[in-house]
Amino acid sequence: MRCVIWNALDLRDNFKDVTIIYGARTVKDLVYKEELKDWELRKDVKLITTVDPGGESPDWRGEIGFVPTIVEKIAPSSKDTVAIVCGPPVMIKYTFPVLAKLGFADENIYTTLENRMKCGFGKCGRCNVGKVYVCKDGPVFTLAQLKELPDEY
């Protein structure tokens, strides 16, 4: 995600709104804090950080709640917008319906199945979902593509 964000920011004029919703279990689990500060200071980026309930510190100024809840609360516009969701499978699973509720088309929702990969170059056969090799055919897929696969991802 960080590389995607860097690229979007490098090509910032090519995009309209850029919203980054970043969740972690606790404040201590947030990574790249200096970079987050830079993004927070930018006027052309909306950065929302959140931690799970109970994961906040006394000086925490971000959101408290799970990512799907915060996505619903922030409600980024789905018009001409893509959503890229990366993280623990359970978070991804519960974020998809929220994005659908916000009007995002399956073709405009991207995620990665990278966590299924082992060798990463098509030899071990451990990343297959049906006939698809995640390492060779992905690992990034749209939700529309995932819905064409057997329900084993």
Binding site for ligand FES (CB under 6 A): 117-120, 122-127, 133-135
In angstroms, the CA 149 to CA 52 distance is 31
How near is the Cβ of 27 to ligand FES at its closest, in Å? Answer: 34
Question: Would you say 2 or 136 has its CB closer to ligand FES?
Answer: 136
Residues near 129 by Cβ (< 8 Å), separated by ≥ 6? Answer: 113, 116, 149, 150, 152, 153
How near is the Cβ of 51 to ligand FES at its closest, in Å? Answer: 32
Burial class of residue 123 in the structure, from the number of CB atoms within 10 Å of its CB (0-12 exposed, 13-18 middle, 19+ buried): exposed
In angstroms, the CA 48 to CA 70 distance is 9
Question: Would you say 12 or 123 has its CB closer to ligand FES?
Answer: 123
How near is the Cβ of 149 to ligand FES at its closest, in Å? Answer: 14
- The one-letter amino acid code at 94 reads Y
How near is the Cβ of 128 to ligand FES at its closest, in Å? Answer: 7
In angstroms, the CA 101 to CA 27 distance is 29
Question: Would you say 50 or 116 has its CB closer to ligand FES?
Answer: 116
Question: Would you say 20 or 129 has its CB closer to ligand FES?
Answer: 129
